[in-house]
Amino acid sequence: MSTRPFVPPTFGGFGKSGLFQVYDKDALEHQVKLVHKSAAKEAVTFEPSVVFAPKQPRGQLKVSLTNRARFLTGVTVDATVQTDASKASSIAVKAKNVAPKLAPGINVTLTETTSEKDFAGKPRYGFFATLAADYARNNASVTASVTTDGDVNHSVSASAAVGFEGFSVGGDVKLVKAGAGAFAPKSYNAGAVYTRGLYTAAVVSDAKFEKLKATLLAKKVNGYALDAGLQAKVDIQAPKAGKPQREVILGLEHKATPSTTYKGAIVLTAPSAVFGVEHKLEGASVSATAVVGKPATLYSAFPVSKYGVAVTIGDI
């Protein structure tokens, strides 16, 4: 009796989970979004939104097009346009299984963006092109990408993971050439992950082995609609400035009803937590997220340092 070969996750997915997304947000902002999906041969989704940021409001438009024509099946175009110049606008063309007969399983993405965080300076016109490919098949997953501004800024990155029966090991490396300098390693890391049933455990390094992240994940705890995760981040080398990082986060997500989901991230090593709730209506959804601290006394209210509210209307 033949069994399907194990396909490990890409190295970038080791220990990744949406349980900590509510905590990892850069900022909490108020947002109003409209979503419209066409029913044409080329499936198009429009997502205009207004973000009420702390400094000033800004607009954002996301457009996604999936071609259903026979000769272009699997090709998707995603575009994001920002009214704030400090935010990156981009367009990406994604093609799945580009060589089905020669090497099945290879996906390719070509992206053009207006900023790139790996480079200290921006090119003259602020455009960066990235060609990326990924392959996952028969106990191995690999990725590779090249980014360039067509002038003096370039980067090359690659990752690989191998595994069997739920256990995977892998690593990645990124080389960057900024300005007149030579290619130099910006990052290189390694890690391992093990998944068995509804449980996952992962250990991954970060920042050239200067940091270590360990993650434990569990889905449907005790048969309930509750997902839980524990994530620890520690410095294994003394940082150049400040105190060493010692952070442990408990992430929770409870789907109370088909329409209502509660999310939370509690920082066990600091008196702070982030809580969020999302409720879906017919043709709309409302979500709210708040950062709370430790109350002054046992009978005091939890202090809210910041919060964000998002409303989405349309074809969700």
Residue 5 lies in a domain: no
Residue 221 lies in a domain: yes
CA 214 to chain centre: 17
In whole angstroms, what is the distance from residue 281 CA to residue 279 CA? 7
What are the backbone dihedrals phi and psi of residue 121, each rounded to the nearest 5 degrees, phi first?
-115, 160
- Count of structural domains, the chain: 1
| pLDDT, tens digit, 9 for 90 and up, residues 196-209 | 999 999 999 988 89
Residue 110 lies in a domain: yes
Residue 1 lies in a domain: no
Residue 6 lies in a domain: no
Neighbouring residues of 125: CB distance < 8 A, sequence distance ≥ 6: none
Residue 70 lies in a domain: yes
Proportion of the chain above pLDDT 90, given as a percent: 57
* Nearest by Cα to 127 from 140, 110, 144: 110
Residue 286 lies in a domain: yes
Q: What is the pLDDT of residue 4?
A: 74
pLDDT, average across residues 271-275:
90
| Segment among 66-80, 175-189, 209-223, 295-309 with least mean pLDDT | 66-80
Task: Assign residue 261 the CATH number of its domain.
Answer: 2.40.160.10
Give yes or no for residue 177 having a pLDDT over 60: yes
pLDDT, average across residues 282-306:
88
Full residue range of the structural domain in which residue 88 is found? 11-314
Give yes or no for residue 232 having a pLDDT over 70: yes
